[in-house]
């Protein structure tokens, strides 16, 4: 039975004594409301959210042996739920795995104008921590699974969905642990991640849909200078703060080499149509691999992040007393590497650029490799067919996220992963991780429909 949309249901009336019936709440809306009411920050964990979803799937007719709750034994509040919609007997295609994180970043009530851990619907928006990142996507996937189950759908391959914790803290205790603990997850043929890629509104117009084929790799270093210090009345040239500051200044003036990945070239070739003048010309040239054009575009921070590895100082501390020479100064340098760059390579480049043997570099958050998943014709055609079934003229492009996601774990195992988020945000109103996080309420149900169509297309006969 097809799920009725919240917006459509609100328009329906049952004439019973002249009283208008209450609108029928969709599964997508119900699940999002319930999830937003649960604080799933790292400290609180995901146990309550997992229990909630398990109960909903059982009520929808999923068998107990199609559901598995797994807690990381070293972090028992980091709970996972694995849901399986089984293929018809004799299916030979490897399963498709969905990665759906349940955790959210912290939100202090005193910083928000609305309660962060509940759904608030106001002025055409749905507010709540995780409304965009990514509980609305979780709700859409839950609704899609339940809808397929209610229709008696028998996929050509198993559909496995992992609702997991810890993505916002790097994912090592969530999907990173899960991929190691559950052997069958390492045997899937394809991974889809609704936490990446997706479409965008610009100036109130739906502009394009990007399916994420790659992401930059997160790695952090500590840069530290130490010496014997001394009394502040007797300054010396070998000041730890000055040494570190000099290296950071040199780093701030440095730009890593321009390099264009296949995804980035395809992305600019598609998006050029939305620009004009020299900017349009440069985007077209980048689409053909022109590095000089990429350098011109990189004056914009967003474009710069697409065409080169970036490293930036994000924290700084030094000294121990007002009247003492510093014995120690340290900084955190946060890098986002292009796919293909290595931690050792970037550390060596940082040392060369900072150009001071007294500055010692140590990785504090090691890199997890995340190779590019190729935008093959089969993947591209399937994404295009699904999106065009709802918006026939919308441009489709592969995309690279400047941030990281759980897709790095299957990619590092050689399993292709693609980002296919379903909620379209506004380019000038992306509040993920920010105050008063929200989505446009009317776009929730279309997200549920898009997630359903993706799930069916990637699990049906002839799916890639």
Contact by Cβ (8 Å): 248, 223: yes
Residue-level length of the chain: 464
Instruction: Estimate to the nearest angstrom the gap between the alpha carbon of 227 and the chain centroid.
Output: 41
Give the three-state DSSP class for 438.
strand
According to the model, what pLDDT value does residue 23 have? Answer: 56
* Phi, psi (degrees; rounded to nearest 5) at 159: -105, 120
CA atoms within 13 A on the CB side of 60: 26
pTM of the complete model: 0.87
> Which domains does the chain carry?
6-196+405-457 (3.40.630.10), 217-365 (3.30.70.360)
CB-based contacts of 297-303 (< 8 A; 24+ apart in sequence): 297/268, 298/255, 298/258, 302/402
The tens-digit pLDDT sequence of the chain (464 residues) is 333 333 333 332 333 344 444 456 899 999 999 999 999 999 999 999 999 999 999 999 999 999 999 999 999 999 999 999 999 888 889 999 999 999 999 999 999 999 999 999 999 999 999 999 999 999 999 999 999 999 999 999 999 999 999 999 989 999 999 999 999 999 999 999 999 999 999 999 999 999 999 999 999 999 999 999 999 999 988 999 999 999 999 999 999 999 999 999 999 999 999 899 999 999 999 999 999 999 999 999 999 999 999 999 999 999 999 999 999 999 999 999 999 999 999 999 999 999 999 999 999 999 988 899 999 999 999 999 999 999 999 999 999 998 889 999 999 999 999 999 999 999 999 999 999 999 999 999 999 999 999 999 999 998 99
DSSP letter at 361 equals: E
List the one residue out of 443, 388, 428, 24 whose CA is nearest residue 211. 388
**Helices (H), ranges, 37-134:** 47-59
Q: What's the token pair of residue 112?
A: 């928000």
């Amino acid at each position: 039975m097809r799920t009725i949309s919240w917006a459509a249901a609100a328009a329906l009336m049952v004439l019973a004594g002249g009283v208008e019936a209450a609108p029928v709440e969709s599964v997508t809306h119900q699940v999002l409301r319930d999830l937003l009411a649960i604080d799933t920050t790292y400290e609180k964990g995901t146990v309550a959210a997992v229990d909630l979803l398990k109960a909903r799937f059982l009520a929808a007719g999923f068998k107990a042996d199609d559901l598995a709750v797994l807690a990381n034994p070293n972090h028992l509040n980091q709970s996972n739920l694995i849901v399986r919609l089984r293929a018809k007997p004799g299916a030979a295609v490897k399963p498709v795995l969905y990665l759906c994180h349940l955790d959210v970043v912290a939100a202090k009530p005193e910083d928000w104008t609305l309660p962060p851990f509940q759904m608030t619907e106001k002025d055409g928006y749905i507010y709540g921590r995780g409304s965009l990142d990514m509980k609305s996507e979780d709700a859409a996937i839950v609704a899609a699974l339940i809808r397929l189950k209610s229709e008696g759908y028998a996929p050509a391959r198993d559909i496995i969905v992992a609702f997991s914790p810890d993505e916002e803290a790097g994912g090592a205790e969530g999907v990173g642990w899960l991929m190691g603990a559950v052997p069958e997850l390492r045997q899937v043929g394809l991974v889809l991640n609704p936490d990446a890629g997706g479409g965008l509104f610009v100036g109130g117009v739906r502009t394009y849909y990007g399916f994420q084929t790659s992401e930059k790799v997160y790695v952090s270093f500590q840069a530290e200078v130490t010496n014997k210090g001394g009394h502040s009345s007797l300054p010396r040239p070998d000041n730890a703060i000055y040494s570190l500051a000099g290296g950071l200044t040199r780093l701030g003036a440095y730009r890593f080499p321009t390099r264009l990945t296949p995804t980035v070239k395809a992305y600019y070739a598609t998006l050029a149509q939305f620009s004009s003048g020299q900017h349009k010309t440069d985007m077209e040239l980048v689409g053909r691999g022109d590095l000089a054009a990429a350098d011109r575009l990189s004056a914009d921070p967003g474009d710069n992040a697409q065409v080169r590895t970036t490293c930036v100082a994000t924290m700084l501390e030094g000294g121990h007393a007002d009247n003492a020479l510093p014995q120690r100064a340290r900084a955190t340098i946060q890098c986002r590497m292009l796919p293909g760059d290595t931690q050792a390579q970037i550390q060596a480049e940082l040392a060369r650029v900072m150009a001071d043997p007294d500055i010692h570099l140590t990785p504090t958050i090691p890199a997890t490799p995340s190779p590019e998943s190729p935008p093959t014709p089969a993947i591209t055609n399937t994404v295009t067919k699904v999106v065009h079934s709802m918006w026939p003229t919308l441009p489709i492009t592969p995309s690279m996220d400047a941030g990281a996601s759980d897709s790095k774990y299957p990619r590092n195992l050689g399993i292709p992963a693609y980002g296919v988020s379903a909620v379209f945000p506004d380019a000038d109103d992306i509040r993920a991780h920010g105050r008063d996080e929200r989505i446009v309420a009317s776009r929730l149900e279309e997200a549920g429909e898009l997630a359903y169509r993706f799930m069916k297309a990637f699990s049906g006969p002839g799916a890639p």
